[in-house]
């Protein structure tokens, strides 16, 4: 039987696990079963960590990465190997910070943090687990692991899409920053187009997320489609929303989807699946820029539009908004824009 280089009953927190496993990395990596045990132990402790939300979670992840590299460096004898490890850390920081759009991982942020940080004491409320605990928990979770993994992949796909979006925005800001020399006064005055004689049945409803009440309003609006449902959306990874589109198609509704080309093959994306399983036609942009619209036109009588991506992360995690209205001029404008994009792509 393969044995860990530390007692299987030892209650370890993340920092202790990292130190012990790095100190005996040659033993762990030489045996695939030991490697799987150590990895499962580490991952389950990650799952037990308390989430604080927002940038604090990113900063905590950076601290953990620093500890991983520090523990690895401490287990090395050669200064040359330590220098290689330091360079690898910079490369990994750039990879995560730039490609996933997490600023906290960029080297300049990490170096600044390292200068400010003092040696931390062990955290009293850090979760601790032994390998025996991990094995028992894994056994309990076996029945639900497939569903849970699918949900997590979908949720992570939404977050990954947003981070790719942030990374692209950062690149564009660097490219166009020097061109932003216009003066606001040069653009003249705002000239609104006033609405006249609106009938009593006209509505304009703002809803905000995260909120399941808001999602109820959103999904029931989609379900009301009887003839046409034209969707123009950057990211579609929420399975409940995708199911509403599939059911509309089965009712004989003309459903069409326009989406961003980078999202087509993204993990958890429902666009291709809806096309293959339900025959829903779709089109993608083919440019470097995002197809960043997020709206739907229902029966040419109602529009849903706003910041809300049709993803699990937007539904449960982000602060988003949707405006639902049946004002004729607004509906017509969005319908015309959908048709223009459909012809263009």
User: Pairing mode, if any, of strands 320-325 and 302-306?
Assistant: antiparallel
Q: For residue 75, count CB atoms less than 10 angstroms from its CB and return exposed for 0-12, middle for 13-18, buried for 19 or more.
A: middle
List 82, 137, 166, 292, catalytic entry: 292
294: annotated active-site residue:
yes
Neighbouring CB atoms inside 10 A of 314's CB total: 27
Determine whether 336 is an active site residue: no
Q: Is 216 a catalytic residue?
A: no
- Strands 302-306 and 204-209, by their bridges, are unpaired
From 105, 78, 80, select the one nearest 91 (Cα to Cα).
105
Decide the pairing of beta strands 294-298 and 228-233: antiparallel
Choosing from 31, 299, 317, 328, the catalytic residue is: 299
Catalytic residue among 41, 89, 283, 294: 294
Structure tokens at 278: 């339900």
What order do you get walking across the sheet with 294-298 strand by strand? 204-209, 320-325, 302-306, 294-298, 228-233, 254-259, 282-284
Catalytic amino acids? 292, 294, 299
């Amino acid at each position: 039987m393969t044995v860990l280089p530390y007692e299987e009953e030892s209650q370890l927190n993340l920092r202790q696990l990292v130190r012990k496993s790095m100190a005996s990395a040659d033993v762990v990596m030489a045996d695939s079963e030991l490697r799987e045990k150590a990895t499962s132990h580490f991952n389950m402790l990650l799952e037990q960590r308390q989430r604080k939300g927002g940038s604090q979670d990113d900063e905590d992840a950076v601290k953990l990465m620093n500890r991983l590299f520090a523990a690895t460096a401490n287990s090395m004898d050669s200064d040359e190997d330590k220098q290689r490890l330091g360079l690898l850390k910079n490369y990994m920081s750039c990879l995560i910070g730039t490609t996933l759009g997490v600023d906290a991982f960029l080297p300049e942020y990490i170096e600044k943090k390292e200068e400010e940080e003092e040696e931390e004491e062990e955290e009293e409320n850090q979760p601790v687990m032994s390998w025996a605990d991990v094995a028992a928990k894994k056994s309990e979770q076996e029945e639900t692991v497939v569903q849970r993994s699918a949900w997590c992949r979908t949720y992570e796909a939404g977050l990954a899409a947003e981070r790719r979006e942030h990374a692209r925005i950062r690149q564009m800001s660097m490219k166009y920053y020097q061109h932003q020399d216009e003066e606001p006064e040069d653009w003249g005055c705002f000239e609104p187009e006033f609405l006249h004689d609106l009938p009593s049945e006209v509505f304009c409803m703002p809803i905000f997320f995260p909120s399941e009440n808001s999602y109820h309003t959103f999904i029931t609006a989609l379900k009301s489609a009887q003839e046409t449902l034209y969707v123009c959306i950057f990211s579609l990874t929420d399975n409940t929303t995708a199911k509403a589109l599939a059911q509309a198609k089965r009712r004989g509704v003309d459903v069409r989807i326009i989406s961003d080309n980078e999202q087509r093959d993204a993990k958890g994306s429902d666009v291709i699946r809806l096309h293959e399983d339900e025959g829903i036609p779709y089109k993608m942009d083919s440019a470097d820029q995002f197809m960043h619209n997020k709206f739907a036109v229902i029966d040419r009588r109602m529009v849903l539009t706003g910041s809300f991506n049709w993803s699990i992360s937007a539904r449960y995690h982000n602060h988003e908004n949707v405006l639902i209205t049946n004002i004729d001029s607004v509906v017509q404008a969005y319908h015309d824009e959908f048709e223009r994009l459909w012809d263009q792509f």
